[in-house]
Chains A and B, each alone.
Chain A
Amino acid sequence: MSDHEYTPKSKFGKWFNDRLPLLTLANHLTDYPTPKNLNYWWTFGGILTFCLITQIVTGLVLAMHYIAHADMAFDSVEHIMRDVNYGWLIRYIHANGASMFFLAVYIHIFRSLFYGSYKAPREIIWIIGIIIYLLMMAAAFLGYVLPWGQMSFWGATVITNLFSAIPLVGEGIVTWLWGGYSVDNPTLTRFFTLHYLIPFLILGLVVLHIWALHVPGNNNPVGIDIKKPSKDTVPFHPYIVIKDGFALLMFMIVFAFFVFYTPNILGHADNYIEANPLVTPAHIVPEWYLLPFYAILRSVPDKLLGVVAMLSAILILAALPWLDTSKIRSAVFRPLYRQFYWILVADVLILGYVGAMPAEGLYLLVARVATAYYFLHFLVILPVLGWKEKTLPIPLSITEPILGGSPNLATAKNKESSN
């Protein structure tokens, strides 16, 4: 990992480090050369680590008081809210923490899309990231089922029923997932088990994600390869630590506002009604962070194809390093891609909006157009753009943005200073 040898100063340190090189690791993490022009969009990696740890710690405490039983789950959540000391605080942090986690991960993903962070040599980092994202969605869905409210129950019913679209074995798989012939107690207990397991899988993958990052080092807003260490880099500590810390604190202010002042706004009122298999809610909607994919699912008239479309929408991201044929990483030097990037952002936001609306009339039409465009972006626009686009000249280093005399000197300088 580190190209320079590190020797601990103390004798004990040396003895220990020869047997388990923890101090070498710590030294690598503090000295890790980081591009000095990283902007605040790069602080979300640290923020996401914070989100994961927060979810694990609060979740651990909640699990001490929660009872995973169809007859007692709802009651035990109310017990946490009322009688457990600061139980309300822990639960609200956990519930809103999930939303904050997704807010941060979407910013993190779209940052990668803008600056081309998924391109060689960072494909493995990107693919691990996509797996983490998939596991996050699974964990969030499973967690939403645990309070055993109406949305929990019916959300679980709708999502598990998606598997019934698989030809021949679909129905069997659904029964196997449920542990019975409907969503019931066996479903709840296994969902709880899996909800407890997944965050630790994510934690392991996060270690791999960071490890894979530390091999080539960070991408940067200019998107060029840089020499490390050089005058283009700063050591991770203290420069990046304090900057990430500052951004994290700002994020925590927003987080705290949700927890303390509008703790239920991101949830659905129906989830405060205990699960009732005999009463279906008027609208079954997933949490906001799953809405774009829900819109894609519903925009396809055929159930199986809908499920395939939804899964492809996520999995297509894993192929992104090869779909994007451009040699230039950063959108700063790709004038056309920059515009398509923002259209994609708008497209996903539109999908999220129509996902929350009933699938009928104009909403359905918009959902279909937006779904088609989503795939068009990745399957057609990106590959073609890589061949056709006339990119701007890229600088040779971060400190010397452009070779003298380039017409784009001024633009590059502006970009740099705004970071």
Chain B
Amino acid sequence: MKNFFKIFSFIILFSGLSLSTQAAEKVEYLKTDWSFKGLFGKFDRAALQRGYQVYTEVCSSCHSMKYLSYRNLAEKGGPEFSIEQAKAIAASFEVKDGPNSDGDMFTRPGRLSDKFVMPYDNVQAAQAANGGAYPPDMSVLVKARGGGVDYIYSLLQGYEDPPAGVTLDDGVYYNKYMYGNKIKMANQLSDGLVEYSDGTTASVEQMSKDVTTFLMWSAEPHLESRHQMGFKAILYLIILTILVYFSMKRIWSRIETEV
């Protein structure tokens, strides 16, 4: 049994190491309480709805979200807009469809089944409009950046004047959390930029937190069911392990060797 604990602690150590090497790469990001962290972490529904508002009113003019559909907005574990609200949101966008029976393309109001409307027709158009930089698709953005949510949250608040000696080209901005500190996206958030319908004060910090929460959901839409299932699965495994342990003891008691 002693040996067994050695192995188990070895595996835990390995897991710990893998976690800490990841942590070692991080610069000191701004910290905030994320409701979706931890064993039972869930999304803050209101933050997701506010985050969607920030995305639509601010980010979506440049950043696409090509893996999301309007129906996702009403799904369980997400912002959980009502079906009517989601339909209204979808209908507020013009979607290009076709060809119709005459062979023509046409536009129509969006439906729940439509993907989020893209701000540009193609990558080249996006680059042309943004000084050569392609605003990345935001569907899985938090998973595509080393620092994850903390990085995005910090980046949105990390704009400052360049230190002496740093010269910036036209259309390049200084951000203390950006890799290499030079970013082609200008500071987008300012206090009171959006008007939250639930009365929350739209500070830069609040908007950053809300939109980052929204991005976390868009990258991991099944996070809540994953946490719930994970807890049940691990609890089940622990109980089964204990039962099997005692069965094992019982069976091995027939011979004198200890197990």
Q: Which A residues lie at the B interface, using CB under 8 A?
A: 36-37, 39-41, 75, 78, 81-82, 88-89, 92, 103, 107, 234, 238-239, 242-243, 245-247, 249-254, 256-266, 269-270, 272-273, 282, 288, 356, 417-419
Q: Which B residues lie at the A interface, using CB under 8 A?
A: 2-4, 7-8, 10-12, 14-15, 18-19, 21-22, 39, 67, 72, 136, 139-140, 143-146, 148, 179, 219-222, 226-227, 229-231, 233-234, 237-238, 240-241, 244-245, 247-248, 251-252, 255, 257-259
Please give me the residue from chain A that is nearest to B240 by CB atom. A249
The reply to whether B179 and A282 form a contact with Cβ atoms under 8 Å apart is yes
In angstroms, Cα B225 to Cα A82, docked, is: 12
Do A247 and B257 contact each other (CB < 8 Å), given the known contacts A239-B251, A256-B233?
no
Cβ-defined partner of B237 (8 Å) among A243, A252, A265: A252
Could you list 25 examples of A-B contacts with CB < 8 Å?
A36-B255, A36-B257, A40-B4, A82-B72, A89-B226, A89-B229, A92-B226, A103-B11, A107-B7, A239-B251, A242-B244, A245-B244, A246-B244, A247-B4, A256-B230, A256-B234, A256-B237, A260-B229, A266-B18, A269-B143, A269-B145, A269-B148, A272-B219, A273-B136, A417-B258
Q: Which residues of B contact A272 (CB under 8 A)?
A: 140, 143-144, 219
The reply to whether A249 and B255 form a contact with Cβ atoms under 8 Å apart is no
Do A249 and B145 contact each other (CB < 8 Å), given the known contacts A239-B252, A256-B230?
no
Classify the secondary structure of B's interface with A.
helix
In angstroms, Cα B226 to Cα A263, docked, is: 10
The reply to whether A261 and B241 form a contact with Cβ atoms under 8 Å apart is no
> Shortest Cβ distance from A345 into chain B, in angstroms?
11
In angstroms, Cα B258 to Cα A419, docked, is: 8
In angstroms, Cα B15 to Cα A266, docked, is: 9
Q: Which residues of A contact B8 (CB under 8 A)?
A: 250
The reply to whether A250 and B241 form a contact with Cβ atoms under 8 Å apart is yes
Do A242 and B226 contact each other (CB < 8 Å), given the known contacts A254-B11, A258-B15, A282-B179?
no
The reply to whether B11 and A288 form a contact with Cβ atoms under 8 Å apart is no
Please give me the residue from chain A that is nearest to B250 by CB atom. A242
Q: Which residues of B contact A41 (CB under 8 A)?
A: 3, 7
In angstroms, Cα B227 to Cα A257, docked, is: 10
In angstroms, Cα B19 to Cα A185, docked, is: 34
Do A269 and B146 contact each other (CB < 8 Å), given the known contacts A239-B252, A246-B248?
yes
Cβ-defined partner of B22 (8 Å) among A40, A78, A247, A265: A265
Do A249 and B237 contact each other (CB < 8 Å), given the known contacts A254-B11, A261-B39, A262-B19?
yes
The reply to whether A254 and B12 form a contact with Cβ atoms under 8 Å apart is yes
In the complex, besides A238-B251, A251-B11, 9 extra interface pairs with C-beta distance below 8 angstroms are A36-B257, A239-B255, A243-B259, A260-B233, A264-B143, A269-B148, A272-B144, A418-B3, A419-B3
In angstroms, Cα B2 to Cα A254, docked, is: 19
In angstroms, Cα B22 to Cα A264, docked, is: 11
> Shortest Cβ distance from A120 into chain B, in angstroms?
26
Please give me the residue from chain A that is nearest to B248 by CB atom. A242
